[in-house]
Amino acid sequence: MCLGIPGRVVDMIDPAEHLAKVDVGGVQRAISVRLLADTGLQVGDWVLVHVGFAMARIDEAEAQTTLDQVRKMGADYVNEIEAFNASEIA
C-alpha cells in the first residue's frame, strides 16, 4: 500500500535542488519539494509525502487528523513508516 503521509519540514537542505529534510513519525529523510517550489515552503510547514516527494502543503490540523487516522491502520501504518525510512533520496 502506498499512502501520502504528513511530514514536517525540519530543514531546507538544498534549496537550489529543491531538497528538504522532513520528519515523519520520528524518521527524518531528505525529500524532493520541487513540486512545491513556488509555494514559499518553509521550515515548520507540513507537507504530504509520497515516495520521496512532497505532493501538497497542508496545515497542521489536517496533518494531525491524517496522522491520527493513519495510525489506526495499525500494521499498514508501521509498514509505510518503514518504507519511508528505507526510501532516502541519494
What is the 8-class DSSP label of residue 14?
Answer: E
Split at pLDDT 50, 70, 90, the class of 1 is very low
What is the C-alpha to C-alpha distance for residues 1 and 90, in angstroms, rounded to an integer?
Answer: 23
Predicted confidence at residue 21, as pLDDT, reads 97
Give all domains of the chain, ordered by start, each with its CATH number: 5-85 (2.30.30.140)
- Alpha helices (H) along 1-90: 60-71, 75-85
Q: Is the predicted pLDDT of residue 34 greater than 90, yes or no? A: yes
Regarding predicted confidence, which is higher, 88 or 36? 36
- The better pLDDT of the pair 78, 7 is held by 7
Which residues, in sequence order, are bridge partners of residue 6?
A: 48
Q: What is the mean pLDDT of the chain?
A: 86
Each residue of 61-84: pLDDT tens digit?
999 998 888 777 777 767 776 776
